[in-house]
Amino acid sequence: MIGAAGGLGLIVLGSLLFSPALIGVGAIVELVWLLRSLWTRYGLRGVSYERRLDRTRATIGEEIGLELVVRNRKLLPLPWLSVDDLVTSGASVVGRDFEPSVLPGFVALRTTWTLGWFERVTRRLRIEADRRGVYDFREAHLQVADLFGREKDVEERPLPLRYRVVPRHVPVTGLDVLSAIPGPALAKGGLFEEPTLFAGVRPYQAGDPRRRIHWKATARLGQPVSRRFDPGHDRELLIALDVQTVSGPFWLMQYEDELSEGLCTAAMSLARSLIADGFACGLAANGYSAVPGRGVFLAPGGAPAQVARIADELAGLSRWPSMPFANLLDRLGRRVPRSTAILALTSRPAREVLPVLRRLQRTGRRVRLAGLGPHGPQGLTDARTMGITAAVVRLAPDWRTARALELVG
Amino acid sequence: MRSSWSAEAILQTVAAATLEAAWITLAALTLAWFGGGAEIELGIAPFAVAGVIGLVVARRLARWPRERYAFALTGSVIGVAILGAWLIQVVQGGGAAFIEPANATAWLLGLAVYRGSVHGDPDDEAYVAAWMLSRGLVGVTIFWAVAALSGMTGAPEYATAAFTATLVFVAAALLSMGLARLAELEVEATDRAARRRWVGLLLAVTTLLVLIGIPLSVVLDIPTWDMLGTILGPLAPLVVALFVFMARPIFALADWLAELVGPISRQPDGVPIPTPGASLPPLPPPVPSGGDVGDLTWLAWLVLGAVAVVLLLSAFLFQQRVRRDAASGDEVREAEPISLGRLPRLPRLALPGRPSAPTSAVQAYRMALMSLIGRPEARLAGETPREHARRVRGAEIGARIGRLAVDYQLAALAGRRLSSAEERRAIARWRLISDWARRVRRG
């Protein structure tokens, strides 16, 4: 500011004294003042910043392409542009370290750029999907610095973007254990008849298709009769996932990471395998998710898109429980139809949940228990003692490298 | 072992030393002018060398104990001052036998050594350069004001040296600050290519500043070659020789073009056409080949300029560079379409006396009422549109006002949306009413 005033003073003085020298030097001083603040004044004008992901869902171990594009649509080149992308803590970008951020739970991915006039620079980075979760990109902080000054100009631009890292899924072996769990169920009422549920014959009615006529009975009775079927429903199964991995009060919010990821991998693999086999599969868990509430519930569905829905729910599932697993099972007993089978998947000693499972079973519901981790075999023994079918889930050598999920009954 | 000196570090050292040398030169000029207008003994270059000595001493001996460091620095200051005094004596032909201890210019050399040592810590360079520039600009302002008042600007030798020192001071300060900012912003830590571009832009802007100073020197009536020689120092003859060497093919092309065009352009206008029977006039003397073909320097400049523009445009339009870096991923640089945004437009001037036309039935009714002001058909205060229409029903325009009033009431009071045909008809009624009012007013 002193320089600007001095330069102006020189120009005025030079004009008064008719001295070109003073005017010239005044012009130089003014030029220097202009140069010192040129970038903080005009640097961010005409600058656009974009962030793109080549996909929004990746399995653990895969990579997602991240494309950062900066455009400078003006004559003034930018020698230094720094962009801080706020992303959920825990994200990982190949070859990049994160800076701390002022926003809790977020870190900053800092990139520095130099742009010429009317230039577009595209930088491609790779996001490592190495930890399950839902990752949000929030606003971007753009910062330009003066070439000669000490000032910086900062601008915040909202650029929301989200990607999910979903659990691995592996082939399931030993499905015979599971195959006994659900089956074609008899519905109490319904419009749709299940062709496999033969229920007898009835007199022929006009309009009955010829294939429906029971020819042998017709011959025996001497009058036309048609087959009759009971109403049925799809084979439905709900995987009830116990998020709690450490015994004790659930509110301690402690967890064992390996077991937690192993449970999610097992749930994902089971769901995918069951849906591929024609089951309608759903998910319930006693953990938090992105949706406010004290649990996760996804109604059973058999469409291929259900796999992606389950994967998304598992991606956003917290590693600590929101309520006791027994409470979740109790709620499910009231919430889901009795025809829906429940598969309880836990890594803790099964003694806590066996009474609830037995109560559900006594109401006519099909329930099964699957135990993962060191307490699995003991849970199998305890469950058999109480008359509940159970299986041990094995991911060998660990959930990261296992090639198959083994069910041992 | 890899050297810790890089091109940027050398450039920064030179810039810092030149920055100090420039203002010390201004101080030396002031002393010389007020000391009786004596001959200028030293220019920027010796002061810059002294500054480099101080800077190197400060960096090399920075880890010494405080007392030893102060002693070494003081010794350097005095030593350089004495050496400078001796050199001045030798150059001025006063003999080397006697060294004048009161030579102020020599002690300014010592000051340059001390000031050079201030730039010893590279981490503080951004702060020091910024401080120097802000305070230095004030000093430069005062210097030039004093110079103008004391008549120093009238002395060509002093004016040239002072203007050059000012220009160098500003350029060196900017360069030094820019290079120091490079380290401050930790550009290298994130993007190595950014560092090169930063330095490139820095040099371009600094050069631009010097180039702007050249036309200013013409305004000030300062010999440009003298100024450039002072700025470039010992490199000046080399730069000029390089320029001449590079321009030689262009000048040769200009000569060839001149030879090609010469015979046509030099066809004498007044050569009389020989008539039969008349004696032939004497032929003009033959033009020796390769002789004076006129000043075609402008052609060389034109060709140079055209080539530069073509190169610039092609580099700009067809640039697409891909850089692969394991750390930062792939990077693609492409040109963006040039758009200069909206150009400033001249304000649209409305013709006086021409009322604007209504665009809706509501506006048409209101403007129709305005055109009736002062006439008996005008709407009275406290009169509703319906009452007004009923009152003027018998007038020539009564029916039209009545229909306009209905449209107005529907659109403005009942909130009904009129169709485009109704709007159009309302506007036509306004036109008829206003024409009638104008006609009646004219009599």
- Which pLDDT tens digit goes with each residue over B358-369? 889 999 999 999
Q: Is the pLDDT of residue A249 over 70?
A: yes
Which alpha helices (H) appear in B233-332, and where do they start and end?
236-265, 297-317
Is residue A137 located within the same domain as residue A255? no
Q: Which of residues 192-251 of A touch B (CB under 8 A)?
A: none
Q: How many CB atoms lie within 10 A of CB B2?
A: 5
Q: Chain B contact for A35, CB < 8 A?
A: yes
A153-157, A203-207, A366-370, B169-173: which has the minimum mean pLDDT? B169-173
Contact assignment for A119 to B319 by CB distance below 8 Å: yes
Contact assignment for B187 to A80 by CB distance below 8 Å: yes
A280-284, A336-340, B424-428: which has the minimum mean pLDDT? A336-340
Instruction: Tell me the shortest Cα–Cα distance from B90 to chain A, in angstroms.
Output: 34
* The pair of three-digit structure tokens given for residue A356, joined into one six-digit string: 């609830």
* Per-residue pLDDT, B299: 58
Q: Give ipTM to 2 decimals.
A: 0.70
Domain count, chain A: 2
Is residue B32 located within the same domain as residue B180? yes
Separation CA B296–CA B284 (nearest Å): 24
Domain count, chain B: 2
Q: How many CB atoms lie within 10 A of CB B320?
A: 9
More confident residue, A33 or B322: A33
Is residue A179 located within the same domain as residue A144? no
Q: Domain for residue B12, yes or no?
A: yes
How do residues A158-206 score in pLDDT, each as one tens digit? 899 999 999 999 999 876 665 555 455 555 556 667 777 788 999 999 9
A137 contact partners, CB below 8 Å, separation of at least 6: A51, A85, A86, A87, A159, A160, A161, A162
* Per-residue pLDDT, A329: 92
Task: Decide: residue B317, CB within 10 A, 0-12 exposed, 13-18 middle, 19+ buried.
Answer: exposed
Q: Domain for residue A25, yes or no?
A: no
Is residue A259 located within the same domain as residue A357? yes
Q: Domain for residue B33, yes or no?
A: yes
Q: Which of residues 103-162 of A touch B (CB under 8 A)?
A: 110-114, 116-126, 145-150
Q: Domain for residue A246, yes or no?
A: yes
Out of A113, A135, A166, pick the residue that ends a domain.
A166
pLDDT band for A315, please (50, 70, 90 cuts): very high
Contacts of A84 in chain B (CB under 8 A): none
**Residue A114: closest CA among chain B residues belongs to which residue?**
B194
Contact assignment for B190 to A24 by CB distance below 8 Å: no
For the segment B208-233, the average pLDDT, to the nearest whole number, is 64
Is residue A177 located within the same domain as residue A148? no
Q: Domain for residue A121, yes or no?
A: yes
Whether the CB-CB separation of A78 and A152 falls below 8 Å is answered with no
A272-281, B188-197, B259-268: which has the minimum mean pLDDT? B259-268
How do residues B407-436 score in pLDDT, each as one tens digit? 999 998 888 889 999 999 999 999 999 999
In this complex, which of A111, A116, A145 lies closest to B185 when CB atoms are compared?
A: A145
Is residue A402 located within the same domain as residue A272? yes
Is residue A270 located within the same domain as residue A342? yes
Q: Domain for residue A57, yes or no?
A: yes
Q: Domain for residue B28, yes or no?
A: yes
Contacts of A71 in chain B (CB under 8 A): 336
Contact assignment for A125 to B163 by CB distance below 8 Å: no
Q: Domain for residue B318, yes or no?
A: no
Q: Is the pLDDT of residue B277 over 50?
A: no
Torsion angle defined by CA atoms of residues B126, B129, B135 and B140, in that order, rounded to the nearest 10 degrees: -150
Out of B222, B242, B257, pick the residue that ends a domain.
B222
Torsion angle defined by CA atoms of residues B26, B32, B34 and B35, in that order, rounded to the nearest 10 degrees: 160
For the segment A304-328, the average pLDDT, to the nearest whole number, is 92
* Per-residue pLDDT, B149: 81
Q: Domain for residue A129, yes or no?
A: yes
Is residue A86 located within the same domain as residue A151? yes
Instruction: Tell me the shortest Cα–Cα distance from B178 to chain A, in angstroms.
Output: 5
Whether the CB-CB separation of A306 and A264 falls below 8 Å is answered with no
* Per-residue pLDDT, B143: 86
Q: Choosing among A148, A150, A154, which should be mutated to test the B contact, i.e. which has the most B CBs within 10 A? A: A148
* Per-residue pLDDT, B155: 80
More confident residue, B35 or A208: A208
Contact assignment for B212 to A120 by CB distance below 8 Å: no
Q: Chain B contact for A21, CB < 8 A?
A: yes
Q: Domain for residue B270, yes or no?
A: no
Q: Is the pLDDT of residue B265 over 70?
A: no
* The pair of three-digit structure tokens given for residue B374, joined into one six-digit string: 């002062």
Range of the domain at B423: 361-442
Contact assignment for B209 to A35 by CB distance below 8 Å: yes
In this complex, which of B193, B201, B330 lies closest to A147 when CB atoms are compared?
A: B201
Contact assignment for A29 to B178 by CB distance below 8 Å: no
In this complex, which of B130, B137, B327 lies closest to A6 when CB atoms are compared?
A: B137
pLDDT band for B232, please (50, 70, 90 cuts): low
Out of B222, B257, B282, pick the residue that ends a domain.
B222
Out of B200, B222, B244, pick the residue that ends a domain.
B222
* The pair of three-digit structure tokens given for residue B342, joined into one six-digit string: 């909206």
Is residue A124 located within the same domain as residue A109? yes
Q: Which amino acid is at B209?
A: L
Q: Is the pLDDT of residue A214 over 90?
A: yes
How do residues A21-79 score in pLDDT, each as one tens digit? 777 778 877 887 787 778 888 889 889 999 999 999 999 989 999 999 999 988 888 88
Q: Domain for residue B298, yes or no?
A: no
Contacts of B213 in chain A (CB under 8 A): 28
Smallest Cα–Cα separation from B22: which of B128, B101, B139?
Answer: B139
Is residue A161 located within the same domain as residue A146? yes
More confident residue, A22 or B401: B401
How do residues B108-165 score in pLDDT, each as one tens digit? 888 888 888 888 887 788 788 888 887 887 888 788 888 888 888 778 788 888 888 8
Q: Domain for residue B109, yes or no?
A: yes
Range of the domain at A256: 172-183+235-408
* Per-residue pLDDT, B234: 46
In this complex, which of B177, B219, B329 lies closest to A124 when CB atoms are compared?
A: B329
* The pair of three-digit structure tokens given for residue A23, joined into one six-digit string: 């005017």
Instruction: Tell me the shortest Cα–Cα distance from A152 to chain B, in angstroms.
Output: 11
pLDDT band for B288, please (50, 70, 90 cuts): very low
In this complex, which of A23, A116, A126 lies closest to B329 when CB atoms are compared?
A: A126
Is residue A91 located within the same domain as residue A135? yes
Instruction: Tell me the shortest Cα–Cα distance from A127 to chain B, in angstroms.
Output: 11
Separation CA B319–CA B305 (nearest Å): 21
* Chain A to chain B Cβ contacts (< 8 Å): 168
CATH number of the domain at A292, please. Answer: 3.40.50.410
Smallest Cα–Cα separation from A393: which of A259, A299, A303?
Answer: A259
- Average pLDDT, whole number, for chain B? 74
Q: Chain B contact for A3, CB < 8 A?
A: yes
Contact assignment for B153 to A35 by CB distance below 8 Å: no
* Per-residue pLDDT, B268: 46
> What percent of chain A clears pLDDT 90, i.e. is strictly above it?
41
B294 contact partners, CB below 8 Å, separation of at least 6: B258
Q: Domain for residue B25, yes or no?
A: yes
A234-238, A372-376, A377-381, B428-432: which has the minimum mean pLDDT? A234-238
Whether the CB-CB separation of B325 and B331 falls below 8 Å is answered with yes
Q: Is the pLDDT of residue B19 over 80?
A: yes
Separation CA B107–CA B145 (nearest Å): 25
> What percent of chain B clears pLDDT 90, i.e. is strictly above it?
11
For the segment A364-375, the average pLDDT, to the nearest whole number, is 88
Q: Domain for residue A372, yes or no?
A: yes
φ, ψ at A286 (rounded to 5°): -95, 50
pLDDT band for B326, please (50, 70, 90 cuts): very low
Q: Is the pLDDT of residue B343 over 70?
A: no
Smallest Cα–Cα separation from B337: which of A73, A8, A190, A193?
Answer: A73
